[in-house]
Structure 1
């Protein structure tokens, strides 16, 4: 039987600079960290994954691949043979982005069109396979967010997929379980559109997505997606400077049953509460909430099943990132710098957007302590794409430049920074 190449794995490896051999080395290191025994993967194993000869690796290998990449196994192009396989390789002359758009607008929408195209025919049966296809698209949205967060195209694509999920509701018959899952998928996509708008500082759009996401989540009954939406709302209001509203929204998330049942959800709710306390200048509340968030994370079962969106980003690095934000807002710059270094040392490779944000905040903490040389050099390591295209990073770097000029107006580092930002404008 012919096999299709695993183009998603190949794309991830190409983007992160991995050959088959270096990918095998990374997998073996992760196996040894997990089991205490060296892994037995080599370049030929990776080539077998890429060629499609091995479509569903063993359980340990799947777990390790998720650890190494920070991406769910299905988002790397793997699937059991009994499940629908990823699309075949894109011909060399075909634009991969166009291919993805075609899959989004064609794959799911074609099912809707087919159901409506034959008046008088029996309605098609909507099943969990349709939900699985939507979930596969959701992992792509999550991956795009971590690479290029805040972009309008991610927001629009997520909103479009939410509409696709709702269209499926009307395209045929489905069980109550399937319908609940379709509403949950639509809510998940809409919450990703909401987050992209928040990350891009488009708050009016974010609030509109939030209202739709909340309604869909209620119809789904899915506690995890309700948590995500209300937790995002808390972050949105924190960025807007509305700390009372931020605490109220975050409390809705923290009081959901899932946060009482799973310490990892409780930890995220507490960590974001601490960041809000920092923005509100509540030092005691900040310290207490972060201590509680760390304790909850330590209690969480690492093997428990959790949704893709949570697994993809919440870990000790994110906890330290939120601490960095809080202590920077409080003006405790040594503590902020400490948490920045802790975050950067454990940040997973796919967290490109988070690395740019953390690096920028680190430069602010160093500048505030008078370490102008180091701060300038650190700020200059932020990639041009993030510096010019991500709204939050662009704003923070603009504030860094203003603070640098105010702190050391005649310093040669001001000239260095000015030249550097001019180069951004010519290469962006």
Structure 2
């Protein structure tokens, strides 16, 4: 029987920059997280799915696909056994179907609440909040592993909408409603961060505005800090230091920074990075010392949100100093902070390690250390080098600078041969 090519899966892979081999590796990792046993998918398996030779993978494989893509199997073009494959679905149809399912879910909840003889509207409680917070933990983990992916941004935005839909699905106390708004703001701020990390700045601005409104409704100082601090980072990456200072000042003025020195430290650390972009050497040095002092004063046992404790530590402080000194053109200081960051970096911080290693290579090359810099750049994993927008851009710029610094050298040849392997490795 003739097979039908799975156009939906093909489109998803193209949109997210995946080859058959790279997707198989992501699925293997996801399956291990789900089952505790490594997956054994390979490029051939993905090509079979893509070609339509396997139309309905088993349950474990479908769960792995959902973990990687955030989508159910039918949305990826898979067809349950016994059903006839329909014509390829357009992106507009998929979006319409998603909106229709969301609307039907809300309508069904409202209808159940209003049905004659019903016990009453559904009661939304802290268990619903805790379920959303568990999903937020998954988003944080995906960010640290992959960073910047459009799929992470889309999944976080969808979960923000899910949290808002609960506001209309039943009755709740004011405390629960505040928590739901805080969850929605947290998810939206993660979508914003993924867009920043992927250099999709226009989308990040849209997420930022939505997140700011939700944070105000929640009244949660911690999530307000996260969003305004992210806003400062967004403007810094966009080359707008004045706006970056203003946004970060909003974060640093919140009461939470006076109650908890770790929040104050993060605000100062990001201020330091902006000083670097603004070519303010004295401000950079001063705020690094202040951020380090605040971190040392912070109670290590204090109860803090996951998004903060999962990433902010001495490694991140040195990472921001590395970025600041690179922007300032002080490559010796940048290299020092790069090595310190890598020494402190926790094992699960895959995205951060790739970014820091790329920046360190730039700092070494700018000092004329072409061989050492190239060896450093070669330590960046192929998937990060090809699929993470910030890392890809930094390594392209590194290659151009290397060719300008040592044209025709064996080091340039070695780098060219190394980057050629990425086309087959991912």
- Partner of residue 226, structure 2: 228
Q: Give 1:164's match in structure 2, choosing from 162, 165, 181.
A: 162
Partner of 2:110: 116
Deviates more, 1:323-332 or 1:152-161: 323-332
Which residue in 1 is equivalent to 2:377? 379
In 1: Cα distance, 2:258 partner to 2:363 partner = 35
1:11 aligns with 2:33: yes
Report the Cα distance in structure 2 between the residues aligned to 1:375 and 1:198, rounded to whole angstroms. Answer: 26
Structure 1 residue 11, shift from structure 2 partner: 1.6
Residues 330-352 of structure 1 show CA distances to partners (whole Å, capped at 9, x for unaligned) of 11111111111111111011100
Quick one: distance in 2 between partners of 1:12 and 1:294? Answer: 38
**CA distance in structure 2 between the aligned counterparts of 1:424 and 1:203, rounded to whole angstroms:** 27
Partner of 1:150: 148
Q: CA deviation at 1:98?
A: 2.5
SS of equivalent residue, structure 1 residue 349: coil
Residue 251 (structure 1) aligned to one of 240, 246, 249:
249
Q: Which residue number corresponds to residue 319 of structure 2?
A: 321
- Equivalent residue number for residue 241 of structure 1: 239
Contact in 1 for aligned 2:32/2:38 (Cα 8 Å):
no
Cross-structure match for 1:23? none
SS in 2 for 1:124: coil
**Residues 363 and 259 from structure 1, CA distance in 2 versus in 1: closer, same or farther, beyond 3 angstroms?**
same
Secondary structure (helix, strand or coil) at the match of 1:125 reads coil
The equivalent residue for 2:16 is none
Quote the residue 2:309 is aligned against: 311
Aligned length: 347
Matched, 1:97 2:68: no
The answer for the alignment partner of 1:177 in structure 2 is: 175
Of residues 255, 266, 274, the one that matches 2:272 is 274
For the structure 1 residues 303 and 382, does the alpha-carbon distance in structure 2 shift closer, same or farther, using more than 3 Å as the test? same
Indicate yes or no: 2:375 matched with 1:365: no
**Could you tell me which residue of structure 1 aligns to residue 131 of structure 2?**
133
- 1:293-308 to 2 correspondence within 5 Å? 293-308=291-306
Deviation per CA, 1:255-303: give whole Å up to 9, x if none: 0010111100000000000000001110000000000000000000000
Quote the Cα distance in structure 2 between the aligned partners of 1:331 and 1:134: 43
TM-score (norm 2): 0.77
1:418 shift after superposition: 1.3
| Residue pairs, 1:211-226, within 5 angstroms | 211-226=209-224
Structure 2 unmatched runs, 5+? 1-28, 40-57, 74-97
* Cα distance in 1 for residues equivalent to 2:302 and 2:108: 39
Paired residue secondary structure (2:421) = helix
Query: Equivalents in 2 of 1:142, 1:400: separation in Å?
Result: 29
Q: Give the whole-Å Cα distance in 2 for the aligned partners of 1:364 and 1:254.
A: 31
Quickly say closer, same or farther: Cα 1:111–1:263, change in 2 above 3 A. farther
- CA 1:303–1:10: 2 relative to 1, 3 Å: farther
| Secondary structure of residue in 2 paired with 1:275 | helix
Q: Deviations over 1:199-255 (max 9, x none)?
A: 000000000000000000000000000000000000011111101110100000000
Partner of 2:281: 283
State the shift of 1:427 in Å. 2.9
- 2:42 corresponds to which residue? none
- Whole-Å Cα distance in 2 between the matches of residues 344 and 13 of structure 1? 31
1:160-185 superposed Cα distances (whole Å, 9 cap, x missing partner): 00000000000000000000000000
Is it true that 1:408 corresponds to 2:406 in the alignment?
Answer: yes
Correspondence 1:206 to 2:217: no
> How far apart are residue 387 of structure 1 and its match?
0.5
- Partner Cα distance (1:12, 1:164) in 2: 23
Post-superposition CA distance 1:85-140 (Å, at most 9, x none): xxxxx95454423266459x9xx979856523424232100000000000000000
CA–CA distance in structure 2, aligned partners of residues 175 and 150 of structure 1: 36
Normalised by the length of structure 1, the TM-score is 0.77
Partner of 1:191: 189
> What is the CA–CA distance in structure 2 between the aligned matches of 1:238 and 1:125, rounded to whole Å?
43
